[in-house]
């Protein structure tokens, strides 16, 4: 989106049409909307802007719920924005620390600033891109947040209590972007970490960020939502909890659960396959807190370095997906396919760890057929590769 396209959209006619058009959930909906608007005599530029925003609003519902229906987006901005439920949890930490005024540096389309302003904090939101800053201003207008078009490094922070930083981890642009190396983040990480030493800060990074680069005095919190590990946040100063250096925040079905520790947890010993297999959430794995989860489940490791746990106790937790073991099957494609068909398994979920297998390719070779459903866990153990047939708990 260019600033000219935004000007076309930010008119009484453009905003009225956007509200009237509603959700566009399919390509058929998009085609019908374009035809209708063009027949009504609207310009091609206006139709493109309105239909594009309507499509983005439809997609944004997964992140922003009902708020999406009054927000504006770019495709890249939506992809990189923090989910509202996660932004609300971040904002709660700022409030708990007694923060009154927060600078959101690299605010994007305003997802995190929305969470901060929504609970009554005074927010100044900053973005270096002109179009993105304009969209943030529109999205945050009902909450009274101040929005500035500026580089994070150029903002006077004398009047703020804390900062939220979301360094750009992709190339500039509003549609197609690509990831860049940590050395090329904007603003630079050296500047970001220096600021975090001077002011209480939350720094949003990708979940795969190099752990060796995490400052020793920060709390590192990995966050997972419904099975996807979405981000790492580094907390400094008053925003970091005393005695906590590693945390895994797992959100399932809108409910948050958290595991915290003073450091990486020691793994538990390897044990033979039991009645259950547990797969830790990605946030737990990234935080290296698998051992703490295993001890809570009275479980052992299936193999060193493999994030599958096994136990006999009928226990589970929000930090794992649990599977009840049916049986072990031969790790051979022909024998495995025959065994699945003999058991009438036509709906097959395939999961793997520590083995070089493409589940999609394997499925076509197995040719599962029948009315039953099951999960096939493919993994490496000290005794070699294993195929475990199981049911989700």
Please determine, for residue 2, whether its predicted confidence score (pLDDT) is greater than 80. no
- Check residue 5 and give its pLDDT: 82
Q: What was the pLDDT predicted at 112?
A: 96
Among 361, 359, 342, 353, residue whose Cα is nearest residue 378: 353
Is the peptide bond between 284 and the residue preceding it cis, with omega within 30 degrees of 0?
A: no
Contact 328, 273 (CB under 8 A): yes
Which pLDDT score is estimated for 174? 62
Q: Which two tokens stand for residue 223?
A: 């966050």
**pTM for the full model?**
0.91
pLDDT of residue 165: 97
Q: For the chain, what is the radius of gyration of the CA atoms?
A: 24
Please say if the pLDDT value at position 383 is more than 90: no
For the segment 175-189, what is each residue's pLDDT rounded down to a tens digit? 667 788 888 899 999
Instruction: Give the whole-angstrom CA distance, residue 232 versus residue 346.
Output: 38
Q: What percent of the chain has pLDDT over 70?
A: 99
Per-residue confidence (pLDDT) for residue 175, from 0 to 100: 65
Q: What is the mean pLDDT of residues 243-266?
A: 96
**292 falls in which pLDDT band (50, 70, 90)?**
very high
The reported pLDDT for the residue numbered 22 is 83
Of the pLDDT bands very low, low, confident and very high (cuts 50, 70, 90), residue 173 is low
Structure-block tokens of residue 248: 């895994």
pLDDT for 225 beyond 80: yes
Residue 180 has what DSSP assignment? Answer: -
Residue with tokens 């036509």: 346
Strand pairing class (384-392; 372-381) = antiparallel
Of 354, 326, 353, 352, nearest in space to 340 by CA: 326
**pLDDT for residue 57:** 94
Please write the tens of the pLDDT for every residue from 128-148.
Answer: 999 999 999 999 999 999 999
Q: Which range is least confidently modeled, 76-85, 230-239, 275-284?
A: 76-85
Is the model's pLDDT at 170 over the cut of 80? no
Chain mean pLDDT for the chain:
94
HEC assignment per residue over 22-52: CCCCCHHHHHHHHHHHHHCCCCHHHHHHHHH
Q: Give the pLDDT of residue 3.
A: 81
CA distances from 264 to 198, 205, 260 (A): 26, 19, 10
Summarize pLDDT for 308-340 with one digit per residue, the tens: 999 999 999 999 999 999 999 989 999 999 999
């Amino acid at each position: 989106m260019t600033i000219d396209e935004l000007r076309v959209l930010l008119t009484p006619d453009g905003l009225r049409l956007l509200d009237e058009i509603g959700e566009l959930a399919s390509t058929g909906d998009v085609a019908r909307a374009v035809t209708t608007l063009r027949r009504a005599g609207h310009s091609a530029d206006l139709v493109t802007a309105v239909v594009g925003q309507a499509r983005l609003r439809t997609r944004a519902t997964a992140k922003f719920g009902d708020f999406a229906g009054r927000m504006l987006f770019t495709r890249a901005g939506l992809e990189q924005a923090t989910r509202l439920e996660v932004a609300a949890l971040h904002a709660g930490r700022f409030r708990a620390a007694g923060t009154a005024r927060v600078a959101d540096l690299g605010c994007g389309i305003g997802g995190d600033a929305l969470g901060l302003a929504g609970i009554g904090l005074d927010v100044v939101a900053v973005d270096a891109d002109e179009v993105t800053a304009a969209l943030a201003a529109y999205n945050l207008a009902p909450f009274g947040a101040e929005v500035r078009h500026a580089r994070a490094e150029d903002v006077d922070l004398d009047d703020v209590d804390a900062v939220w930083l979301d360094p750009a981890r992709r190339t500039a642009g509003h549609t197609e972007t690509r990831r860049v190396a940590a050395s090329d983040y904007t603003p630079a990480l050296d500047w970001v970490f220096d600021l975090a030493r001077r002011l209480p800060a939350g720094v949003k990074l990708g979940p795969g960020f190099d752990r060796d680069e995490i400052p020793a005095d920060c709390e590192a919190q990995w966050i997972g939502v419904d099975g996807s590990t979405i981000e790492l946040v580094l907390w400094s100063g008053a925003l970091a909890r005393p005695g906590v250096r590693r945390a895994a925040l797992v959100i399932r079905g809108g409910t948050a659960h958290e595991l915290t520790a003073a450091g990486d947890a020691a793994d538990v010993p390897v044990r033979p396959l039991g009645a259950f297999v547990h797969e830790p959430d990605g946030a737990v794995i990234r935080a290296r807190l698998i051992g703490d989860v295993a001890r809570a489940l009275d479980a052992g490791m299936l193999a060193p370095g493999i994030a599958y746990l096994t136990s006999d106790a009928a226990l589970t937790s929000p930090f794992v997906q649990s599977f009840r073991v049916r049986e072990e099957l031969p790790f051979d494609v022909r024998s495995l396919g025959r065994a699945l068909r003999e058991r009438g398994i036509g709906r097959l979920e395939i999961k793997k760890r520590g083995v070089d297998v493409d589940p999609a390719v394997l499925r076509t070779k197995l040719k599962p057929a029948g009315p039953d459903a099951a999960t096939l866990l493919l993994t490496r153990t000290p005794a070699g590769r294993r195929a475990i047939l199981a049911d989700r708990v």
